[in-house]
Amino acid sequence: MDRFRYRHTSTIVLLAASTVLLLCLAATISAQQQTYIVSANHVLDANGKIYYIHGVDRSSFERSPSGDGHFTQTDFNNIAAWGANTVRIATNQDFLLVDSSCFAPSYLVGDLDPAVMAAHKAGLNVIFDLHWNDGGVSGTCAAGQKKMADTRSLAFWQIMANHYKNDPRVFFELYNEPQDISWGCWLNGCTTCGLAGCNTWVGMQQMYDAVRLAGFNNLIIMGGVNSASDLSGVPHHLPSGFNIVYATHVHSSEPPSSWSTSFGFLTFTYPVIATEFGDHTCESRYVTSVLDYFDAPDGNIRNRMGWTGGAWNDAGNCTFPSVIADWNGTPNTLGRPEHDHLLGYKNPVPPPTGLMATVH
């Protein structure tokens, strides 16, 4: 009885908190209403102008339901002060799914919603990426990523889509880093078996369909294979849908000679963003080179890529890799190129003309 009474009271408190937060979100959204669409190889804003996603990555909501304590208004204001327009936030599906061992009732309305509200107030859009999953095993708690999203990831995205479908400033990145799977599995899912048993993975198409079925029509981001670094198979494995953006992850293990064939070529036909990149050696030279490439893939400024750089985390530890020396937002050696590029975008390149909306 005591347990029932506690659960009942907790539910009432959470519902009340949810109502207040949703009202606050609605007020913020109505004051800053924007709609983004994919047109040819660009994202357009509500005014039909090219919108480049530029920002930073924030992790820790995949490790703890309450994060690292640095999702305050001041934190997001510091990110915006760099010139960012977007923040990418990592998540863990088991904090949201009630049949996991680490289900956190406050995860959505008590932790993620306040972060969204603070980000929006600072002028930032939000990308939620599914960072950690459990491989499809209920009653467990995800402690890392797998080969791909699993069958339980569909429930996660349905909940997220239903909750954020009316916020046009929230985008979804369906899975952080698909790895050790074929392109067929990437698109349509598959079952793989190893010494620990078999797992059924869901593809990008299944997750896309689940999100759209819930009424979420905002941007959906899909990372490639080989830990999201490789987009070479996309042209022959195109998902069916609209408002799709493709993502790559670029780290110092990928030499510049591979950039064009891994992801640069795709910028001629589809919008491409880099949602993770950095250098664990704390050197800035590689980051500077890749940022210059994003601005003009294969020398073509008309195919400019968006990016969210790693990472606004673990202040003072550039090997994370972290781009900040302190939580006030002071850029470290690794973060200086990101900081300077973001501020430099206040004088954007002239946008291409004659764009027409496309569905792919």
336 within domain boundaries: yes
Per residue in 71-127, pLDDT (tens digit) is 999 999 999 999 999 999 999 999 999 999 999 999 999 999 999 999 999 999 999
353 within domain boundaries: no
57 within domain boundaries: yes
Are residues 222 and 245 in contact, defined by beta-carbon separation less than 8 angstroms? yes
CATH number at residue 116: 3.20.20.80
Count of domains forming the chain: 1
Dump the DSSP string for 204-258: HHHHHHHHHHTT--S-EEEEBBTTBTB-TTGGGSPPSSSSEEEEEEEETTS-GGG
Structure confidence at residue 33 (pLDDT): 53
The pTM assigned to this predicted structure is 0.88
Are residues 130 and 175 in contact, defined by beta-carbon separation less than 8 angstroms? yes
Structure confidence at residue 337 (pLDDT): 96
Structure confidence at residue 319 (pLDDT): 85
Residue 305 is classified by DSSP as P
335 within domain boundaries: yes
Structure confidence at residue 8 (pLDDT): 41
354 within domain boundaries: no
Mean pLDDT per segment of 10 residues, for the chain of length 360 residues? 39 43 44 76 96 97 97 98 97 98 98 98 98 97 97 98 97 98 98 92 98 98 98 98 98 92 98 94 92 97 96 90 95 95 74 37
Residue 307: count other Cβ atoms within 10 Å of its Cβ: 30
Per residue in 166-208, pLDDT (tens digit) is 999 999 999 999 999 999 999 999 999 989 899 999 999 999 9
Burial class (CB in 10 A: 0-12, 13-18, 19+), 14: middle
Q: Which structural domain, as residue segments, surrounds residue 167?
A: 2-344
Residue 71 is classified by DSSP as -
Are residues 324 and 335 in contact, defined by beta-carbon separation less than 8 angstroms? yes
CA angle (90, 273, 340) in 5-degree steps: 90
Extended strands (E) in the chain: 37-39, 42-44, 54-58, 86-92, 125-132, 170-173, 190-194, 197-201, 220-223, 244-251, 272-278, 306-309
350 within domain boundaries: no
Which two three-digit tokens encode residue 162?
Answer: 């239903």
126 within domain boundaries: yes
Structure confidence at residue 322 (pLDDT): 94
150 within domain boundaries: yes
